[in-house]
Amino acid sequence: MSTIEAESPAPAQLLFDSISSRTCIVGVIGLGYVGLPLIDAFTSAGFSCTGFDVDATKVNSLLAGKSYIKHIDDAKIAAWLEKKAFDATAEMERLSEPDVLLICVPTPLDDARDPDLKYVVSTCESIAKSLRPGQLVVLESTTYPTTTRDVMVPILEKSGLKAGGDFFVAYSPEREDPGNPDFSAAGIPKVVGAIDETSLQIAKALYESAVAGVIPVSSCEVAEASKVLENIYRAVNIALVNELKVLFDEMNIDVWEVINAAKTKPFGFQAFYPGPGLGGHCIPIDPFYLSWLARKQGSNARFIELAGEVNRAMPNYVVSQSAKFLNEVQKPIRGSKICLLGVAYKKDVDDPRESPSFELMELLLELGAELTYSDPHVPRLPEMRHYDLPAMESQELTPDFLKSCDAVLIATDHTAFDYEAIVKHSALVIDTRNATARITGNREKIRKC
C-alpha cells in the first residue's frame, strides 16, 4: 500500500508520508533489552530516534556513548550519536516530540501472580499529558488480550483526542532473542494488530521500513494473544521435560540422552530441555497473563497452571538433589562452600531478569550454605524486585578458588566457562544444564540434576 486512502483523516496521511520519507521521529519508551534493539533497527533504516526512560542513569550512560546491554555495544551507540540519529531523555514532557511512540516497559506479575500493568498505565498517563494529533502509539510489552483497547486507549483519550482519528494505536509484540547471533530486531518478522484499519496501515508501514517482515492481523487482541501463545508453547513444553527429568532421575535414566535420541525423528518432535527453573521476562510470566484472564472470564486454564507449578518447583528440586549429592560425600549444605555458575537467565547473555539462579541462591542461603557465584556476563548482582540477596561480585574460577569449594552448581551454561578445568579442579560439580556432557575425564565428580 503506497498511501492511506483519500478519505482517511489528514493526520494519518501526514504520518504515513513522514514514515515513507524517513522524516518521522521514532520515540522508544523503555531503554532496556527490547527498547535498545528497536532503536538499532530504526536508526539502521534511516530514522531518527528519541529514547525515553525514567532511569536517568541509563539515559546519561547512552548519551555518553556507553551501553549496559551486551549485544548493543558502545560502538553502536556511538555511531547513533555521531550521525545525530539518536537522543535520550528522562523528561517525559518531551513525549510530544516524536511522531511515533513505541512502549517497551516491563509487565511483571504482582505477588498474587496477577498482571501488574502499572508501568504501562503510568507510561500512557505520561503520553496523554502531551499527546498531539497525528501520533502513533504502539505497545510492544507482552500482555493479555484486550490490554491495548481496554486499558491503553481510555487513558490516552483523556487527552481529549480520539483514537483512530486524531491519533493512532497498535500492538506489536516484541520478539527479542538475546544471545542468539542469528536474529536481530531487524531480522525478526513482526506481528502487528491495531484498533482500526487506519492505525493498522500506519503501523504496518512503520515496521515494514525497519524489519524483515510484517504479519498484519485483524485486531490488537489477536496480536496480543499470539505473543502469549508463543510463550505458553515454550513454557508447557519445558514443563513437560522438567517433569520427565524428575521421573527419569528416579528410574536412573538420563533425560538428556532420551531427548537427543527423540530429536533424531525428522518430523513431529521439537526438542526442549530441562533446567533449574524458568528465567527471562517472557516464559515465567506471560502464560499467567492468560490464566488470569481465563479466571476473569469464569474459566480455567488448567494446562497453563499445571505447567507453571512444574516449572516453579524446579529450583526446590535442584536444591534437594544438591543436598543429596553433598550427603554422599559426607557434607551437609549448612556450612558447605557452594559456587553457583551463571546468574543470567540463559546462556551467553547478560540479562538476569527472573533468573532461576536467584531463587536457588535464596534457598541455599536459607539452608546455611556459604554461597558465591561466577558469571562473566554479570559482574555483580543487580537489585531485584522479588529477591533479597546480599551484595556479591562474580568470582574468578581459578584452580585455587575451585578447590576451595565443596560444590560447584552449574545453573547457566555460558560458553565462556572452561568446563574441563571446572571439573578437573572441583570436588563436586552439580550440572543442571548438561554442560559437562562432552567432558571425558573426572566424570566421577559430576552429578546431573
Cell of 97: 516530540
- What is the spatial distance between Cα 195 and Cα 218, in angstroms, rounded to a whole number? 9
What pairing do the DSSP bridges indicate for beta strands 214-216 and 337-341? unpaired
- What is the spatial distance between Cα 331 and Cα 353, in angstroms, rounded to a whole number? 32
Residue 398, H or E segment: none
- What is the spatial distance between Cα 59 and Cα 91, in angstroms, rounded to a whole number? 10
Contact criterion met (CB below 8 Å) for 74 and 65: yes
Beta-bridged to residue 190, according to DSSP, are 214
Q: Strands, E, within 92-216: which ranges?
A: 100-103, 136-139, 168-171, 190-194, 214-216
40: nearest Cα among 28, 52, 54? 28
- What is the spatial distance between Cα 4 and Cα 141, in angstroms, rounded to a whole number? 27
Q: Annotated catalytic, 282?
A: yes
Q: Could you identify the residue written with the cell 542513569?
A: 57
φ, ψ of residue 378 to 5 degrees: the values are -130, 90
Q: Could you identify the residue written with the cell 528465567?
A: 279
Longest dimension (CA), the chain: 80
Long-range contact set of residues 327-330: C-beta below 8 Å, sequence gap at least 24: 329/427, 329/428
Long-range contact set of residues 387-396: C-beta below 8 Å, sequence gap at least 24: 387/358, 387/359, 387/361, 387/362, 388/362, 389/358, 389/361, 389/362, 389/365, 390/365, 395/339
List, in order, residues 6 or more apart from 187 with CB less than 8 Å away. Answer: 211, 212
CA dihedral 204, 208, 213, 214 (to 10 degrees): 0
φ, ψ of residue 314 to 5 degrees: the values are -65, -40
Give residue 196's Cα distance to chain centre: 29
348: nearest Cα among 179, 184, 181, 183? 179
- What is the spatial distance between Cα 263 and Cα 54, in angstroms, rounded to a whole number? 45
What pairing do the DSSP bridges indicate for beta strands 168-171 and 190-194? antiparallel
- What is the spatial distance between Cα 21 and Cα 295, in angstroms, rounded to a whole number? 46
Q: Which of 104, 282, 405, 449 is catalytic?
A: 282
Cell of 375: 558469571
Catalytic positions are 282
